[in-house]
Amino acid sequence: MCGIIGYIGKNVEENLFEGLKRLEYRGYDSAGMTVMRNGNFDTYKSVGEVDNLKAKLKFNEEFGYGIAHTRWATHGKITIENCHPHFSSNGNIAIVHNGIIDNFEDLKIQLQAKDKCFVSQTDSEVVAKLLDKLNVNNLRRVLKQIKGSYALVLLSKEKDCLYFAKNKSPLYVGKGDDCVMVASDPSCFAGKIDRYYQLKDGEYGKISLKSLVFYDKNDEIIEKTQESLDFNFISEDKSGYDHFMIKEIYQSRIALENIIAKFQTPELESKLKELKKLMFDRIYLVGCGTAYHAGLIGQSYIRAECNIDTFCEVASEFKEKNFVIDENSLCIFISQSGETADTLSALEYCKQKNAHIIAITNTEYSTIAKKADINFPTCAGQEKAVASTKAYFAQCVMLYLIISYLKGKNNVEKLKLFKNQIDFGDDKALKNLAEIVSKYDKIFFIGRGIDYITAEEASLKLKEITYIFSSALPSGELKHGTLALVDESVLVIVIATDEKLFNKTLNNAYEIKSRGGKLVLFTQLNVDREVAKNFEMVFKVGLTQQDFYPMQIILPLQKLAYFTAVKKGINPDKPRNLAKSVTVE
């Protein structure tokens, strides 16, 4: 994680600050910037959100060179000392880094033996301390010494260029007529530069206003092809909502419209035809967090529709599971950002085993999208809130449509109907419930079948933005251990959308009630009055077609997490300790 950016041109501070704002989704523990003019460095650092840096900046319209960083702490506490940029011992070179230098401890010991002093606890500082003079040869030497993942931008008091290098962390280079930029994400280029180069692992180089040189991992000079920036500029506008999260929940309907439109394009049809031609006898779905939950929904669709072995696994565990993966495997990688390191690493593992690689991403230029044989875009539009909402909805819809297509069904018409049936849930009732939820410090979500997957996702959403301990369980599992935790201090949210499992789920809910636990029910089924009496609240959503129950019922549950965070005074867009894009394993 962490976002890095380098800039050459006029208005350096302003352009770097604007870039940092766009990269803030990669971490917001601290931010820092170094600007060079006439051989002098000006450095600014602040702890917390990028906005905290603004007050410290001395904006200057003059031409200059600069690098900046927004941090998600991996090594070392959230302090000014650990803010990037970090400096060479002679203070002439400044660096910003995204990734993890795995062998930093060994290097640090060696450098300290040579009397190099460290001011931070970060792994990144070793890169700066390995340098005294910046040129291509020295950068190359450093890259051969460091192991791990890195995107680096380096600035020297003595040079009129920026140096950069990439391994396993994303990095993009853009060159305009009067400015150049290097950044973790090409969204930083929007409005300034309309073409960019995407670096591959092992590549490095240098860029000035007049020249640009790329080297590959074998140290050969290479020509790279530019891509045009087809980027819908991220609106900073919350469109009247208090937070991006709530705006994005409501944008699920737009995501659905986009997917329906996309499904009718020749481009998508040809991807589907390509997919249909593939021969495979096993399917794997892989993702992290919310994307993994979308994979579980996809898995249950595949198992219901196709007679084919299907497994869904969290990306960080995938390689440890010794799955049988070969040219007969179809591996589907799901990622909103398309940059998640665990997912990317699992993808590369499957690639080595010659599996067919499909990606479902919300970012078409991302590494995962590019590395896949076929990428299906989720068309949800950029998510700014850390908690994934509309992307999850869109991932589930995309999986549903792909699987339907493979079974020879065109369910676009069904989706059009669903678009008009979507029920986001009554705000007043959800706010009342949020008030109740905010008073608990232990919450369980339970469900059976596909509702258990929704329980997992609802629980993740709640814990990540409200900091309330929560856990999801298949309803039937409670009595095998967790019931021991149930007393009057526990609230259990029961999710029951499947009519045929309803009574069994109710029985499990009553087992909780008998032990003093409080119950809330989320359903779209009619619940008779006697049953309803057992619950603190029955939250009912409008009826939809059964295929879409998981996409429907998650919406009010996302809103419940949102209202609870707001009730607790937490900014749901930027929960503590998290980042939107997780680019370290």
Interface region with ligand AGP, contact rule CB under 6 A, candidates 22-30, 103-111, 384-392, 544-552: 384-392
Nearest-CB residue for ligand AGP: 289
Q: Are 116 and 123 in contact (CB under 8 A)?
A: no
CB atoms within 10 A of CB 532: 13
Residues 565 and 468: their CA atoms lie apart, in Å, by 9
Closer to ligand AGP by Cβ: residue 179 or 360: 360
First and final CA of the chain: distance in angstroms? Answer: 10
Stretch touching ligand AGP by CB under 6 A, among 144-152, 157-165, 285-293, 564-572: 285-293
**How far is it, in rounded angstroms, from Cα 26 to Cα 371?**
21
Residues 457-486 that bind ligand AGP (CB under 6 A): 464
What is the closest distance, in whole angstroms, from the C-beta atom of residue 469 to ligand AGP in the complex?
Answer: 17
Q: Does 335 bind ligand AGP (CB under 6 A)?
A: yes
Residues touching ligand AGP: how many (CB under 6 A)? 15
| 387 contacts ligand AGP (rule: CB under 6 A) | yes
3-state secondary structure (DSSP) of residue 216 = coil
Number of Cβ within a 10 Å radius of residue 147: 14
- Write down the least CB distance from residue 368 to ligand AGP, Å: 8
**Which of 416, 415, 382 minimizes the C-alpha distance to 400?**
415
450 near ligand AGP, rule: CB under 6 A: no
The SS3 assignment for 395 reads helix
CB of 272 to ligand AGP, least distance (A): 22
Q: Is 574 left (phi over 0), alpha (psi -120 to 50) or beta?
A: beta
Of 437 and 582, nearer to ligand AGP (C-beta) is 582
Three-class DSSP category at 103: coil
How many whole angstroms separate alpha carbon 268 and alpha carbon 146?
Answer: 42
| DSSP assigned state of 187 | G
Out of 70, 388, 524, 544, name the contact with ligand AGP by CB under 6 A: 388
Least Å distance, CB 461 to ligand AGP, is 6
Tell me the backbone φ, ψ of residue 518, rounded to 5 degrees. -95, 150
Question: Is 179 among the catalytic positions?
Answer: no
Q: Is 288 in the site for ligand AGP (CB under 6 A)?
A: yes
- Phi and psi (nearest 5°) for 449? 60, -135
Minimum CB distance to ligand AGP smaller for 159 or for 461: 461
Task: For the CB of residue 367, give the shortest distance to ligand AGP in the complex, in Å.
Answer: 11
Nearer to ligand AGP, 66 or 287 (CB): 287
Residue 512 makes CB contacts below 8 A (sequence gap 6+) with: 478, 483, 486, 490, 492, 519
Q: Which is nearer to ligand AGP, 186 or 289 (CB)?
A: 289
Q: Which of 289, 377, 550, 572 binds ligand AGP (CB under 6 A)?
A: 289
Q: Is 496 exposed, middle or buried (0-12, 13-18, 19+ CB in 10 A)?
A: buried
Site string for ligand AGP, 50-89 (x = CB under 6 A): ----------------------------------------
For ligand AGP, which residue of 386, 406, 468, 492 counts as binding (CB under 6 A)?
Answer: 386
Q: Which two tokens stand for residue 164?
A: 């950069």
Q: In angstroms, what is the minimal distance from the CB of 524 to ligand AGP?
A: 23
2 is annotated as an active-site residue: yes
Instruction: CB nearer to ligand AGP: give 443 or 538.
Output: 443
Q: How many CB atoms lie within 10 A of CB 317?
A: 13
Exposure on the CB side of residue 512, measured as CA atoms within 13 A:
32
Please identify, using beta-carbon distances, which residue of 214 and 452 lies nearer to ligand AGP: 452
Helix (H) or strand (E) holding 574: none
CB of 580 to ligand AGP, least distance (A): 7
Q: Should residue 399 be labelled a site residue for ligand AGP when binding is judged by CB under 6 A?
A: no
Please give the biggest Cα pair distance in the chain: 79
Active-site positions read 2, 580
What is the contact surface with ligand AGP in residues (CB under 6 A)?
A: 288-291, 335-337, 340, 343, 386-388, 464, 581-582
